[in-house]
């Protein structure tokens, strides 16, 4: 019986060496691969199928929210960058440049690290009147940030895929409202589709987007004790509008600068999904996002092969409500197939052999807890649906419990330090000052704020000055 090297199973345990385990899960389940090109990754078909499901889900939401997709150039002239000073300062270390080859124009062009500037140049021509507002646009594209050379698959690479929404409103009120509405869409995507529970809230000044009035974020917590930012929605205020000369004539016939927001999530979502749910057998995919929800593995013996294959095909055609794969390969044994599909995280495996047919039953095996049950063929549709529903809920519940248990209140600096050292999330009073947060980061070797829970007066955990907020702190990706 031939074996592919790639499916030889994981050689480390999740709790023993999380980074190596994670890398093996992603590589061996064939979600993605390291590229020969330094700092880059390849999204393989299985990984891209997950991204496609995320895109399909979110495109439907965008349609509801009256956000249209468009596509803007990936090249951004250096002069555009410089128009919004904070933005330029924030992004310039990460920008990759190409030299414009035209002789008549020597300006450098950036490969987009984010598209506010190139898009708002167009908005300054498209927006004339209150009738043009709200303007709601999104693009799906590749992004280049030259920050790192060590790739963490899906989590950190010089090129990645994302969506970026860019909306324009007449008033701050509308802009605030929809900035938070998008944040809630992100929360629902993470929690309902990916079974990844998140903290939501505003970022502190230190952590906000370069050029924003304020940034809101969804943050998940990983089993290695590090948080990960999974999506941000920024109220950009009027800064970009002023820098790019965007003006609209109001109902009052006066010219005003509009309010803008921008918001994005990336293929990084897939990384969090994988790290949170998967186990020592490989990938575990929540049924809602699994490209294949059910795999049928027929148990074939020479004598009964034809009969079993016929039943297996019938079974597949019965399960139309789900995405089902029938593994009819001759050259692999059932046991080998079980391992492969476990490694690939298919939520439900159905085994069907000659004895099962005699008993008019099949055997269902659930991926996350290994539960096995014999089920009458007449009941199989209902049972599969139950298992998928339960598994989706159970993965979320388990992850939510993990998140909740890892949040600990820090009432003083010593407690704060020991929570951070234990790789948990400290919930603490914080003054909100950038300088103070820099000190906290230095003294804790890397703990930064995740987001603001609520506004609350008290005494800052670090500087002991009057605090403004209750804030989540932890190590992060």
* Calpha distance 443→30 (Å, rounded): 40
Among 13, 15, 60, 70, the residue binding its own copies under the rule CB under 8 A is 70
159, 172 in Cβ contact below 8 A?
no
* Calpha distance 130→213 (Å, rounded): 22
Among 19, 45, 245, 409, the residue binding its own copies under the rule CB under 8 A is 45
* Calpha distance 406→426 (Å, rounded): 8
Q: How far is Cα of residue 99 from the mean position of the Cα atoms in its chain?
A: 33
Q: Distance of CA 397 to CAs 75, 201, 228, 394, 427, Å? A: 43, 21, 19, 5, 21
Tell me if 42 contacts its own copies by CB under 8 A. yes
* Calpha distance 97→78 (Å, rounded): 9
Tell me if 142 contacts its own copies by CB under 8 A. yes
Q: Does residue 134 have a cis peptide bond before it, meaning omega lies within 30 degrees of 0? A: yes
Q: How far is Cα of residue 82 from the mean position of the Cα atoms in its chain?
A: 30
Tell me if 75 contacts its own copies by CB under 8 A. yes
* Calpha distance 196→38 (Å, rounded): 30
CB of 122 to its own copies, least distance (A): 6
* Calpha distance 373→367 (Å, rounded): 12
Among 76, 193, 275, 346, the residue binding its own copies under the rule CB under 8 A is 76
Among 9, 11, 19, 69, the residue binding its own copies under the rule CB under 8 A is 69
145, 174 in Cβ contact below 8 A?
no
Span 21-40, contacts to its own copies by CB under 8 A: 33, 35-38, 40
Among 111, 153, 220, 294, the residue binding its own copies under the rule CB under 8 A is 111
Q: Of the two residues 4 and 443, which places its CB atom closer to its own copies in the complex?
A: 4
Q: Of the two residues 83 and 427, which places its CB atom closer to its own copies in the complex?
A: 83
Tell me if 43 contacts its own copies by CB under 8 A. yes
Q: Of the two residues 140 and 413, which places its CB atom closer to its own copies in the complex?
A: 140
CB of 95 to its own copies, least distance (A): 10
CB of 446 to its own copies, least distance (A): 24
| Dihedral, CA of residue 325, residue 330, residue 334 and residue 337, to nearest 10 | -50
Q: Of the two residues 104 and 302, which places its CB atom closer to its own copies in the complex?
A: 104
Tell me if 97 contacts its own copies by CB under 8 A. yes
Span 146-175, contacts to its own copies by CB under 8 A: 146, 149, 158-159, 161
Q: Of the two residues 172 and 313, which places its CB atom closer to its own copies in the complex?
A: 313
Sheet containing 294-298, strands listed edge to edge, beginning at the edge strand earlier in sequence: 324-326, 294-298, 348-352, 361-366, 372-376
Tell me if 49 contacts its own copies by CB under 8 A. yes
Place of tokens 């803008």: 260
Tell me if 131 contacts its own copies by CB under 8 A. yes
Query: Under the rule (CB under 8 A), what is the footprint of its own copies?
Result: 2, 4-5, 33, 35-38, 40-45, 47-49, 51-52, 68-77, 80, 96-102, 105, 109, 111, 118, 121-122, 125, 128-129, 131, 137, 141-142, 144, 146, 149, 158-159, 161, 331
């Amino acid at each position: 019986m031939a074996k592919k090297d790639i499916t030889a199973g994981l050689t480390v345990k999740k709790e023993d060496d999380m980074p190596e385990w994670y890398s093996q899960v992603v590589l061996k389940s064939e979600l993605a691969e390291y590229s020969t090109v330094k700092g880059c990754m390849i999204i393989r078909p299985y990984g891209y199928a997950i991204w496609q499901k995320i895109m399909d889900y979110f495109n439907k939401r965008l349609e509801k929210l009256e956000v249209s997709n468009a596509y803007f150039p990936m090249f951004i002239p250096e002069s555009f960058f410089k128009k919004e000073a904070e933005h330029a300062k924030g992004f310039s270390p990460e920008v990759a440049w190409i030299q414009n080859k035209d002789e008549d124009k020597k300006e450098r062009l950036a490969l987009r690290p984010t598209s506010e500037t190139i898009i708002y140049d167009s908005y300054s021509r498209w927006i004339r009147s209150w009738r043009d507002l709200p303007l709601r646009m999104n693009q799906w594209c590749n992004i280049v940030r030259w920050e790192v050379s060590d790739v963490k698959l899906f989590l950190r690479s010089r090129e990645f895929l994302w969506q970026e929404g860019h909306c324009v409103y007449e008033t701050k009120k509308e802009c605030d409202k929809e900035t938070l509405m998008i944040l809630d869409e992100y929360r629902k995507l993470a929690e309902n589709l990916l079974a990844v529970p998140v903290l939501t809230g505003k970022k502190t000044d230190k952590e906000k987007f370069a050029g924003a009035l304020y940034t809101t974020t969804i943050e998940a917590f990983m089993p290695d004790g590090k948080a990960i930012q999974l999506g941000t929605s920024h109220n950009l205020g009027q800064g970009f509008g002023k820098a790019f000369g965007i003006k609209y004539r109001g109902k009052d016939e006066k010219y005003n600068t509009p309010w803008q927001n921008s918001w994005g999530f990336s293929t990084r979502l897939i990384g969090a999904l994988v790290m949170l749910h998967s186990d020592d057998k490989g990938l575990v995919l929540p049924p809602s996002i699994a490209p294949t929800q059910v795999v049928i593995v027929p148990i074939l013996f020479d004598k009964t092969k034809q009969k079993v294959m016929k039943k297996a095909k019938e079974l597949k055609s019965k399960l139309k409500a789900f995405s089902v794969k029938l593994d009819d390969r001759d050259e692999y044994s059932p046991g080998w197939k079980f391992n492969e599909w476990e490694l690939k995280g298919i939520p439900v495996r159905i085994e069907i052999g000659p004895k099962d047919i005699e008993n008019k039953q099949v055997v269902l095996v659930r991926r996350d807890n290994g539960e096995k049950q014999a089920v009458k063929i007449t009941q199989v549709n209902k049972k599969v649906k139950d298992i998928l529903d339960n598994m989706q809920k159970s993965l979320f519940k388990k992850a939510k419990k993990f998140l909740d248990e890892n949040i600990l209140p820090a009432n003083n600096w010593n407690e704060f330090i020991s929570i951070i050292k234990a790789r948990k999330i400290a919930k603490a009073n914080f003054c909100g000052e950038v300088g103070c947060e820099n000190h906290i980061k230095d003294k804790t070797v890397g703990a930064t704020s995740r987001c603001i829970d609520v506004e609350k007066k008290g005494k800052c955990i670090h500087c002991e000055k009057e605090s403004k907020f209750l804030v989540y702190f932890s190590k992060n990706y």
